[in-house]
Homo-oligomer: A and B are copies of this chain.
Amino acid sequence: MRTTIKDIANYLNVSTTTVSRALNDKDDISDKMRQKVLEVAKLLDYKPNSIAISLRKKTSEKVIGVVLPSVNHYFFSTILRGITTTGHGDDYLVMIGESNQDVKREKEIINQFDDHYVAGIILVPTRNKDSRENVEMIGRRGTPMILIDRTFDDYQGSYIQHDDFKGAYDATNHLISQGKRKIAMLKGGHDCSLSQTRYDGYKTALNDINLKSNSAFVISCTNANKEEGYGAAQKLFAQSIKPDAIFCITDQLAVGVLEYAKDHKISVPAELSIVGYSNSEIAQNVTPKLTTVGQDGFEMGQLAKEYLIEMVLRPEVIRQKVFSSELIKRDSS
Binding site for B on A (CB under 8 A): 47-52, 54-55, 60, 63, 70-72, 74, 77-78, 80-81, 84-86, 91, 93-98, 100, 105, 108, 111-113, 115-117, 255, 262, 281-282, 285-287
Contact = CB atoms under 8 A, between A and B. Distances in A.
Contacts of A96: 80, 84, 94-96
Contacts of A91: 108, 112
A57 to B, nearest CB: 10
A283 to B, nearest CB: 9
Nearest to A65: B93
A63 B262 contact: no
Chain A contact residues, majority secondary structure: mixed
A255 B77 contact: no
Q: Which A-B residue pairs are the 8 nearest by beta carbons?
A: A287-B287, A72-B81, A50-B115, A84-B98, A96-B96, A282-B285, A77-B77, A51-B55
A195 B98 CA distance: 32
B84 A77 contact: no
A116 B50 contact: yes
Given A97-B84, A282-B285, A51 B49 contact: no
A59 to B, nearest CB: 10
Nearest to A54: B51
Contacts of A81: 70-72, 98
A93 B93 contact: no
Nearest to A89: B108
Contacts of A287: 262, 286-287
Contact of A49 (B49, B60, B115): B115
B60 A71 contact: no
A71 B79 CA distance: 10
Contacts of A86: 105
A51 B60 contact: yes
Given A80-B71, A285-B285, A85 B112 contact: no
Contacts of A51: 51, 54-55, 60, 115-117
Given A55-B55, A282-B281, A285-B286, A116 B98 contact: no
Contacts of A77: 71-72, 77
A282 B252 CA distance: 11
Given A71-B77, A77-B77, A285-B255, A63 B97 contact: no
Nearest to A112: B93
A316 to B, nearest CB: 22
Contacts of A94: 95-97
